[in-house]
Structure formats: C-alpha cells, structure tokens
C-alpha cells in the first residue's frame, strides 16, 4: 500500500475525511444560493407591463398637476383665513394696530427698564407719554380747525370770485349760469357742512361705536404686549419641539427687529414730510396748516401713495385759498419730497433692514387695499417685510436645533 493510501485510511479512521466532504458540500450549496437567484432573474422574462408611448404622461404635466392641487389647497386655506379675518375684523385690526404701536413704543420701554424702572412702571410711563403726545396733537388740531375755518371760508369765497372773473374775461368769455352756480355752491357747502369737515379732519369717524371699541381693545393689547411680550412669546415656544422652537425663535426675533426698524423709519419719514409740508403751508399763510401737516404725517404710513393723496388735498386747499401760484409751488415741493422719499429716505432710513423692491411695495399695497381697504394698505408692506425676513430663518437649520426628541 502506498503512502497516499495509508494517509487517506488514516484520515478516514480519524473522521477528518468525512468532515472535509461535509465542508466542501456546504461551500458548494452556499455558492448555489448566491448564483441561482441571479441566474433566475436573468433567465426570467420581463413581466413589466408594456405601456404604449402615446399614453404615457409627460414629466412636465405630472409635475404641473402635482403643483396644481397643492396650490389649490393653499389658495383654499388662504381664502378661509381671509373669511375668518373678515368676520373678526373688529378684533384683528385693533390687534395688528397694537402690534405696530408696540413696535414704536417698546424701545422707550426698554430704555426705561435699563434706567432702573420696574417693568410695570416702565410700561405705564411709556403709555402715559404716548397718551400725552397723541392728546396734545389732537387738541392742537381741533383748536386750529376751529380757529382757521372762518379764514378758510372767507378766502375760498374770494378765490371763487377771482375764478369767476377770470373765466368771464379773455380768452374764455364764459358766462354760463351753471358754472357760476357751481362755483357759488363751494363756499355754501363748506358753511353748511362745517361739522362734517371738522370730524373728517380731526378724527375721521369718532362717532362710530366700532371705532371706540377698537381703540379700547388696541390699548389693552398694547399694554400687555409691552409689559409681558417676552413671556407670551416664550409661552408660545414652549408648546413646540426643541428644533422647531429654536427656528421659530430666530424667525420671531428677526421679524420683530424688522418691524421695529420699519415703524421707526416710517415715523421718521412721516415726521419729515409733515414738518416740510406744514412749514411750507405756514409760510404761504394757508389755513388749516397744522391739521394738513398731521394728515400728511398719518398718510405717510402708506408708502408711495399716502403722500400723494394727502398732498393733493393740501394742494386743493392752497388753490382755493391762495391761488394757483402757491398751489404750483406746493406741488413742486411735494414732487421733490416724493423723489427724496423714493431715492433717499426709504433706502437709507427704512431700507437698511427692509430690502423690498418698489414693485413688491406697489403690489403689496394693491393687494392689501383690495382685501382690506385703507387698513390693509397700511399693514401690507410690514407684513410682506416680516414674511421675507422670517422664511430664511425658518428654513435655516443649525447644529443646536436638534433636541433629544429629534434624534
């Protein structure tokens, strides 16, 4: 017997030959398990349904359909929110006005707190200062309306007589009784509707009960926003997850900073317009100079449009009392002011924090005016500015935004 035969008999005697056969068989089975599925997939026929080329939906159409139903749902949600806001108009408008007023007054409250005043005392001092300023301006306007109205009536009659004489002379030679009657009706209308004109200039509808209810609600909301605004915000954030709360906190602070700068800049721009128009009217000797200046100040809160509307009224009053020369001078002043606002005041005072294109401002004003009238036009631009500043903060994610519940 050879040496190989002896070694094989020895392995069989020890059982190692059987173990080698078993190991070799397991390796072959493992190889079959790996290769057989691939072989079966390769040999199996393609059972996918063959879709005719003409019945396939183009990718652009599928994408457009997916976006369409989502946009329809979004439009429906916006419509329902607008309906709710319209029903709760008496509540929503004072709350928005309180938010804007808080943005104006809160820097004063912060300075008083840093000076050492308690929170409650700083809040009350801020509201008292605002009440004194508003009350003083209202009293001044009312006194000037009462004092200047007779002068306005007398000078309007004189201007009407001059216009009649001018139309009767060359080159017009107009002596129509209808035109004369129409011109004579202007002073009589002012005389008969003095109360209406005074109410429009001073308060713009102070008799309405909704106006007083809105003012009271606005004052209450303003008080609590100034006093407990930070606590209210922290309470709202406490109901959110950690990552969402941090993003909302960054977006909220950025939006509030934009709103504060917007209101501060708008107040500064409005004050500049009011001072310039008031001084010009005072130098010309136009009656109701102070009420018209206050009206210009309020109208300046509607960007680009408010100054034109209030300026048109001031031009009409100047034309009726002082003639066309002073009216043309005032028109030139208003044009220069409008250009300065568009190219200097808005970009430098307001636009440092709010970078909105003029087209975006115009579209915002148009949409706000259509949806909610004058209040909508007033709040349209700050709402758009807040949204454009908050969205990047909501999309941005920082490493610290992930809390224990997000992992």
Per-residue pLDDT at 57 exceeds 90: no
The residue assigned the tokens 């002379």 is 169
Q: What percent of the chain is modeled with pLDDT above 70?
A: 66
Q: Mean pLDDT across the stretch 101-121? A: 88
Handedness of CA 334, 340, 341, 342 (dihedral sign): positive
- pLDDT band for position 76 (50/70/90)? very high
- Specify whether the CB–CB gap between 268 and 305 falls below 8 A: no
List the one residue out of 355, 343, 345 whose CA is nearest residue 389. Answer: 355
Those residues whose C-beta lies under 8 Å from the C-beta of residue 2, and which sit 6 or more positions away, are none
Please write the tens of the pLDDT for every residue from 193-249. 555 555 554 444 445 566 777 788 888 899 998 888 888 888 888 888 887 888 888
Q: What percent of the chain is modeled with pLDDT above 90?
A: 2
SS3 88: coil
CB atoms within 10 A of CB 226: 23
Q: Mean pLDDT across the stretch 142-149? A: 76
The pair of three-digit structure tokens given for residue 130, joined into one six-digit string: 């605002």
Task: List alpha helices for 169-241, DSSP H.
Answer: 177-192, 194-202, 209-238
- pLDDT band for position 73 (50/70/90)? very high
- pLDDT band for position 158 (50/70/90)? low
**Residue-wise burial string across 285-297, b where 16 or more C-beta atoms lie within 10 A, e elsewhere:** ebbbbbbbbbbbb
Per-residue pLDDT at 153 exceeds 60: yes
Q: Which residue has the higher pLDDT, 257 or 204?
A: 257
Per-residue pLDDT at 135 exceeds 80: yes
The residue assigned the tokens 């009462």 is 146
- Specify whether the CB–CB gap between 112 and 125 falls below 8 A: yes
SS3 1: coil
pLDDT of residue 373: 77
- pLDDT band for position 23 (50/70/90)? low
**Nearest-angstrom CA–CA distance, 4 and 295:** 118
Measured CA to CA in angstroms, residue 35 lies from 23, 29, 32, 46, 160 at distances of: 19, 10, 5, 19, 107
- pLDDT band for position 54 (50/70/90)? very low
Most confident option among 118-122, 336-340, 341-345, 359-363: 118-122
The region of weakest confidence among 115-119, 120-124, 349-353 is 349-353
Per-residue pLDDT at 360 exceeds 80: no
CA quadruple 342, 343, 346, 349: dihedral, nearest 10: -160
Q: Which residue has the higher pLDDT, 122 or 161?
A: 122
Q: Which residue has the higher pLDDT, 17 or 380?
A: 380
The residue assigned the tokens 């001018």 is 166
Please write the tens of the pLDDT for every residue from 274-300. 898 889 888 888 888 888 888 888 888
Per-residue pLDDT at 109 exceeds 80: yes
List the one residue out of 302, 324, 305, 306 whose CA is nearest residue 315. Answer: 324
Q: For the whole prediction, is pTM greater than 0.85?
A: no
Per-residue pLDDT at 332 exceeds 60: yes
SS3 403: coil
pLDDT of residue 128: 92
Q: Which residue has the higher pLDDT, 377 or 256?
A: 256
- Specify whether the CB–CB gap between 260 and 103 falls below 8 A: yes
**Nearest-angstrom CA–CA distance, 381 and 106:** 20
Q: Considering the chain, what is the average pLDDT of its residues?
A: 75
The pair of three-digit structure tokens given for residue 213, joined into one six-digit string: 């209810």
Per-residue pLDDT at 349 exceeds 50: yes
**Nearest-angstrom CA–CA distance, 183 and 171:** 19
**Nearest-angstrom CA–CA distance, 261 and 249:** 18
- Specify whether the CB–CB gap between 300 and 270 falls below 8 A: yes
């Amino acid at each position: 017997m050879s040496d190989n035969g002896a070694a094989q008999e020895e392995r069989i005697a020890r059982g190692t030959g059987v173990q080698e056969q078993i190991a070799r068989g397991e390796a072959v089975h493992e190889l079959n398990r790996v290769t057989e599925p691939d072989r079966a997939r390769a040999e199996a026929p393609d059972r996918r349904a063959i879709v005719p080329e003409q019945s396939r939906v183009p990718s652009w159409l599928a994408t457009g359909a997916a976006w369409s139903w989502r946009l329809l749902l979004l439009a429906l949600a916006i419509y329902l929110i607008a309906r709710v806001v319209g029903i709760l108009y008496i509540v929503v408008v004072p709350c928005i006005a309180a938010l804007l007023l808080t943005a104006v007054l809160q820097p004063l409250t912060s300075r008083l707190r840093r000076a050492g005043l308690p929170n409650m005392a700083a809040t009350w001092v801020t509201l008292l200062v605002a009440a004194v300023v508003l009350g003083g301006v209202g009293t001044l306007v009312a006194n000037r309306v009462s004092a200047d109205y007779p002068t306005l009536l007398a000078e309007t009659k004189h201007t009407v007589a001059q216009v009649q004489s001018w139309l009767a002379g060359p080159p017009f030679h107009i002596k129509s009784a209808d035109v004369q009657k129409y011109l004579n009706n202007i002073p009589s209308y002012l005389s008969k509707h003095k109360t209406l004109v005074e109410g429009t200039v001073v308060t713009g509808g102070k008799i309405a009960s909704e106006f007083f209810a809105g003012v009271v609600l606005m004052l209450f909301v303003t008080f609590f926003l100034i006093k407990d605004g930070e606590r209210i915000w922290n309470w709202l954030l406490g109901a959110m997850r950690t990552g969402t709360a941090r993003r909302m906190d960054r977006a909220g602070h950025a939006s509030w900073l934009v709103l504060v700068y917007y209101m501060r800049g708008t107040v500064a721009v409005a004050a500049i317009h009011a001072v310039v128009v008031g001084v010009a009217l005072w130098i010309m000797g136009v009656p109701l100079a102070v009420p018209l200046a206050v009206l210009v100040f309020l109208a300046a809160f509607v960007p680009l449009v408010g100054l034109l509307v209030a300026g048109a009224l001031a031009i009409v009053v100047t034309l009726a009392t002082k003639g066309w020369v002073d009216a043309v001078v005032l028109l030139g002043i208003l044009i220069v002011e409008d250009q300065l606002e568009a190219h200097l005041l808005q970009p430098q005072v307001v636009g440092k924090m709010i970078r909105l294109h003029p087209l975006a401002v115009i579209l915002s004003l148009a949409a706000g005016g259509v949806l909610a009238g004058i209040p909508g036009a007033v709040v349209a631009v700050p709402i758009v500015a807040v949204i454009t500043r908050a969205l990047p903060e909501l999309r941005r994610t920082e490493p610290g935004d992930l809390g224990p519940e997000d992992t």
